[in-house]
């Protein structure tokens, strides 16, 4: 019987276990936490945005996009939806093609995966942190923190990234794969709020506003997103900010911070906004701030005027044409300088990870160490928000799991 160890009971490890189990294999999942699937549980605000209808390699970043295409050609959206359907978990589609379990509850995803694993005889070892892997001849030796030693024919390393330690994110996986000679590209936080040092902006703390946000460098738009921005005590968060955060952090780490440009009125052209404001400015005795409170939440007018360098108490009749144009320009493009990236404790995913050129995407097997597989977020591929990261974890896990049978057949024939 072939013995397979899976390090990590997260999305990709559990999927790998489902596909590796059966036939002439015994599968053990080592999970360091007291529960499996902790990130699945917190995903999608407890609803688990399981995948996305519009899955394509353009939604992914990091190493070689050809690898992403290759992976999805083998196990993509259709196969994922079929698999979840087969274990009793139909999906429903929401705005932006986001797919959720029909239960709209992430705990049901973990519960059904657990049932499937038990049905297939997979052994789940909780509180088992794998500290070391070594290979001697064709066998792997795994040592856990309690000094237990186990031997296996094949190892799937699905230990995830260092994002979001509250749900188990750690650097463990990087250490384990480095020990197996793999290259790890230094991780950085993605899908994460952004620090904006500009103090006046912090007065907007708690305000949510529909915007268009972009990261711009030297006239080039690196990333952009339409949606809500949440202003915070340190800067910005909310979906539109999270969407552009990867591009912002990547450039900051290359010492080339881009500008963050926020359009506070994305449904108006500059001309339409000028016309609207001209009508609001028909009463010259209002202050500049008071003239704007009908179209913005308090204290947005004060902050906008502050950024424009205009006294909010200035009567509208005293605003010059140039000042009026400046108000419109800034409302359409507030330009902000990002601060130091926020930490992994808030990040939904970590960009960076194992160099994918060291992995065969047909099987997820290491090109450096045979019978050693790497899956999920531990790899140097990260997706946009919207179900893309879980899909990558499901796909890579399933491929590594399926590969165990092909290898078993080759060995026994």
Ligand X SMILES: Cc1cc2nc3c(=O)[nH]c(=O)nc-3n(C[C@H](O)[C@H](O)[C@H](O)COP(=O)(O)OP(=O)(O)OC[C@H]3O[C@@H](n4cnc5c(N)ncnc54)[C@H](O)[C@@H]3O)c2cc1C
- Give the binding site for ligand X (CB under 6 A): 7-13, 30-33, 38-39, 42-44, 48-49, 129-130, 158-160, 163-164, 167-168, 170, 172-173, 348-349, 376-378, 387-390, 393
C-beta of 167 vs 333, nearer to ligand X: 167
Task: Return the structure tokens found at 339.
Answer: 């601060």
C-beta of 300 vs 390, nearer to ligand X: 390
Minimum CB separation of residue 28 from ligand X in Å reads 11
Give 379's DSSP letter: B
Minimum CB separation of residue 68 from ligand X in Å reads 14
Minimum CB separation of residue 345 from ligand X in Å reads 10
Minimum CB separation of residue 73 from ligand X in Å reads 19
From the list 11, 80, 77, the residue with the least C-alpha distance to 40 is: 11
Task: Return the structure tokens found at 66.
Answer: 């050809």
C-beta of 60 vs 265, nearer to ligand X: 60
Separation CA 385–CA 407 (nearest Å): 34
Token pair 């950085």 is found at 188
Is the CB of residue 240 less than 8 Å from the CB of residue 226?
yes
Task: Return the structure tokens found at 151.
Answer: 């031997």
What share of residues in the chain are helix, strand, coil (percent, to 5)? 40, 25, 35
Minimum CB separation of residue 206 from ligand X in Å reads 21
C-beta of 124 vs 393, nearer to ligand X: 393
Residues β-bridged to residue 125: 30
C-beta of 150 vs 202, nearer to ligand X: 150
Minimum CB separation of residue 405 from ligand X in Å reads 20
Minimum CB separation of residue 113 from ligand X in Å reads 11
- For the residues of 60-129, what is the DSSP string, one character each? EEES-HHHHHHHHHHS-HHHHHHHHHHTT--EEEEGGGEEEETT--HHHHHHHHHHHHHHTT-EEETT--
Give 295's DSSP letter: T
Asked whether the bond before 402 is cis by omega within 30 degrees of 0, the reply is no
Minimum CB separation of residue 385 from ligand X in Å reads 7
Is the CB of residue 365 less than 8 Å from the CB of residue 372?
yes
Q: Ramachandran region of residue 371, left (φ > 0), alpha (ψ -120 to 50) or beta?
A: left
C-beta of 169 vs 312, nearer to ligand X: 169
C-beta of 245 vs 389, nearer to ligand X: 389
Q: Identify the helix (H) or strand (E) that includes residue 172.
A: helix 172-179
C-beta of 150 vs 251, nearer to ligand X: 150
> What are the b/e assignments for 255-264, b being 16+ CB within 10 Å?
eebbbbbbbb
Minimum CB separation of residue 137 from ligand X in Å reads 24
| Residue number, nearest CB to ligand X | 10
C-beta of 41 vs 290, nearer to ligand X: 41
Rg (CA), the chain: 25
Asked whether the bond before 128 is cis by omega within 30 degrees of 0, the reply is no
C-beta of 28 vs 308, nearer to ligand X: 28
Minimum CB separation of residue 104 from ligand X in Å reads 12
């Amino acid at each position: 019987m072939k013995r397979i160890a899976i390090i990590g009971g997260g999305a990709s490890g559990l999927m790998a276990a489902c596909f590796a189990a059966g036939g002439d294999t015994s599968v053990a999942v080592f999970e360091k936490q007291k529960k499996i699937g902790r990130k699945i549980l917190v995903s999608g605000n407890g609803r688990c945005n399981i995948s996305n209808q519009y899955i394509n390699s353009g939604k992914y970043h990091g190493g070689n996009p050809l690898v992403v295409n290759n992976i999805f050609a083998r196990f993509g959206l259709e196969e994922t939806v079929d698999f979840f359907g087969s274990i009793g978990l139909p999906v429903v589609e929401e705005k932006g093609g986001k797919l959720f379990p029909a239960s709209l509850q992430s705990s049901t995803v973990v519960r059904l995966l657990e049932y499937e694993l038990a049905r297939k005889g997979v052994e789940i070892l909780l509180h088992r942190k794998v500290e070391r892997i070594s290979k001697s001849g064709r066998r792997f030796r795994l040592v856990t923190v309690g000094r237990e030693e186990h031997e296996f024919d094949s190892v799937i390393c699905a230990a995830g990234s260092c994002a979001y330690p509250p749900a188990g994110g750690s650097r463990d996986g990087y250490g384990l794969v480095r020990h197996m000679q793999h290259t790890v590209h230094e991780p950085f936080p993605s899908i994460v709020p952004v620090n904006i040092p500009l103090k006046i902006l912090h007065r907007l703390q708690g305000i949510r506003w529909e915007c268009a946000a972009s990261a711009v460098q030297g006239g080039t738009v690196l990333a952009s997103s339409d949606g809500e921005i949440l202003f915070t005590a340190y800067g910005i968060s909310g979906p539109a900010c999270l969407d552009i955060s990867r591009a912002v952090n990547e450039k900051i780490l290359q010492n080339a911070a881009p500008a963050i440009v926020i359009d506070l009125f994305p449904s108006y052209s500059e001309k339409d906004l000028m016309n609207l404001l001209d009508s609001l400015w028909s009463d010259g005795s209002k202050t500049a701030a008071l003239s704007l409170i009908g179209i913005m939440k308090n204290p947005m007018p004060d902050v906008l005027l502050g950024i424009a360098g205009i006294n909010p108490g200035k009567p509208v009749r005293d605003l010059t044409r140039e000042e009026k144009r400046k108000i419109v320009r800034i409302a359409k493009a507030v330009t902000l300088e990002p601060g130091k990236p926020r930490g992994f404790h808030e990040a939904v995913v970590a960009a960076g990870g194992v160099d994918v050129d060291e992995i065969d995407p047909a099987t997820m097997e290491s090109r450096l160490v045979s019978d050693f597989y790497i899956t999920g977020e531990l790899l140097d591929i990260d997706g946009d928000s919207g179900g893309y990261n879980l899909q990558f974890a499901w796909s890579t896990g399933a491929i590594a799991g399926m590969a165990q049978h092909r290898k078993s057949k080759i060995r026994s024939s």
